[in-house]
Structure 1
């Protein structure tokens, strides 16, 4: 069962100022930066958010530590990353019958500087006042999802993403 619990934003903000890059830690398989992986290849890693506000909330990141979208990526790298955001969005739409997919890039030079995109499916039927930023704000609490369910969610998304990638390959070869 998934429940919404309060999120200690002050503690989180204090922690991200001093800890190493969590995405680089995840890529390096450091157990202290474990995240449930959905997909990875030589350029990209996709994993579930540790602090989801919506079920299926993922992060899409370049494997290599890059910080500035406009300076650290060439056009081909940017387009490849956006292709993965697009394919994941389609997969989340399918896997969760989402009304909308939210996509945004967060982080700063002060903390969480590794470039990453947040991709989160909005369930159908969420009242308007609980959509958009409200649905993404940890100040409204985060979903407490047990490890087994997180593993199941990652697998569910992985299956949908694999289908999207297969469909894309088939349509591009036609």
Structure 2
């Protein structure tokens, strides 16, 4: 797995925008230019998957329903929810296979106070990460920092993952 430098994004600006700005998932679905750096790796009728703008791990991807929803289960019909989870599975498998992850973490985060549009984090853990740097430590931007992956590498990785998701 490739190695990249880490940096500390401006978390105050991030939290301020999450709480007062437009919903980022809705912006990405609408292709709003105010939300750059999120390469789409899957898009279907009801779901979209795209790279985290500030990835703590190589290949860190978010999966969300295209329609604005705020509850991880509420507001979904069972079949609609299960179809979304099929997308989470396909994306997680594509990411795992492409980046050679030892494990893939899947979790839903967000808050009605910010980042309210429900989404799932698909976070690949590379082999050999010390135990103390795994699990939540591997996901938390505040402690792990963001990987500085060059734009051309992000675009190439997104294309490879798109190809794998398409074969799933």
Q: TM-score range by the shorter chain?
A: over 0.9
Structure 2 residues not aligned, in runs of 5+ = none
The alignment's TM-score, normalised by the length of structure 2, stands at 0.93
2:148 to 120, 144, 150: 144
Residue 15 in structure 1 maps to residue 17 in structure 2:
yes
Deviations 1:109-128 (A, max 9, x none): 11111010000110011111
- Residues 114-129 of structure 1 correspond to what in structure 2 (within 5 A)? 114-129=117-132
CA separation in 2, counterparts of 1:113 and 1:47? 17
Greater share of strand residues, 1 or 2?
Answer: 2
In angstroms, what is the RMSD of aligned CA positions? 1.2
Cα offset, 1:153, TM superposition:
1.3
Greater share of helix residues, 1 or 2?
Answer: 1
Matched positions, count: 164
- What's 1:172 paired with? none
Deviations 1:28-77 (A, max 9, x none): 11111132110101101000000100000000000010111232111011
Please say if residues 72 and 108 of structure 2, whose CA atoms lie closer than 8 Å, have aligned partners that are also in contact: no
CA separation in 2, counterparts of 1:141 and 1:3? 9
- What's 2:102 paired with? 99
Residue 86 in structure 1 maps to residue 89 in structure 2:
yes
CA separation in 2, counterparts of 1:29 and 1:88? 20
- What's 2:71 paired with? 68
CA separation in 2, counterparts of 1:15 and 1:90? 31
The alignment's TM-score, normalised by the length of structure 1, stands at 0.90
Bigger radius of gyration, 1 or 2?
A: 1
Runs of 4+ residues over 6 Å off in structure 1: none
CA separation in 1, counterparts of 2:117 and 2:136? 22
Cα offset, 1:14, TM superposition:
1.5
